Amino acid sequence: MFIKPDYNIGKVYELPAQELKAQGIKVILLDLDSTVMISKTGKYLPETLEWFEQMQKDFKLAIVSNNKNPEYIENAQKITPFLVVGDAKKPRTDGIRNALKILEEKPECAVMVGDRPLTDILAGKFAKTKTILVKSLGYERESKFVHFVRWLERLFIRRF
């Protein structure tokens, strides 16, 4: 199944770090909105910042976001203790490849983590990284329409 993620977990905080490390993963590439930041808030939850600190002990981290607003991405970079790549155009692989080049790592040593199967997971698959689908942060704040779209995407990946 091409679109099926390698892992399907709850929130990003449940990422199987030791298992990934044992598989030779050195880089965790993270979607921004709804994956590590409640969408459009421009700030991280305290537990996210703590999680970053823990993950940076064993992995290189980078944000790979489709957000193309330069001010939003600049703000994200200011408050993020590692690389932020904006306007990634996922499911294209440009943003992922750019981040890996800067981090001097190969795709087989990376995992792409995100909340959207048809952008984050598909981009990771195209880039030849491992993939982890997570539940969105701030799900309870999202509209019923967004819930419906998320449900459709997840239904789609179960079939393919």
Report pLDDT digits (tens) over 96-147: 999 999 999 999 999 999 999 989 999 999 999 999 999 987 656 666 766 5
- C-alpha 91 chain-centroid distance: 12
Average pLDDT over every residue of 41-52? 96
For residue 132, is it within any domain? yes
For residue 1, is it within any domain? no
For residue 11, is it within any domain? yes
For residue 17, is it within any domain? yes
Name which residue leads in pLDDT, 158 or 128: 128
For residue 2, is it within any domain? no
- C-alpha 4 chain-centroid distance: 15
For residue 106, is it within any domain? yes
Q: What is the DSSP letter of 140?
A: G
For residue 20, is it within any domain? yes
pLDDT per residue as tens digits for the range 58-97: 999 999 999 999 999 999 999 999 999 999 999 999 999 9
| Model pLDDT, residue 118 | 87
Average pLDDT over every residue of 146-158? 64
Q: What is the domain range of residue 28?
A: 7-159
For residue 148, is it within any domain? yes
Give me 67's structure tokens: 């957000």
The domain that holds 84 is classified in CATH as 3.40.50.1000
- C-alpha 152 chain-centroid distance: 19
Task: Please tell me the total count of domains within the chain.
Answer: 1
In 3D, which of 79, 76, 78, 81 has the Cα closest to residue 31? 76
Average pLDDT over every residue of 146-156? 64
| Model pLDDT, residue 39 | 85
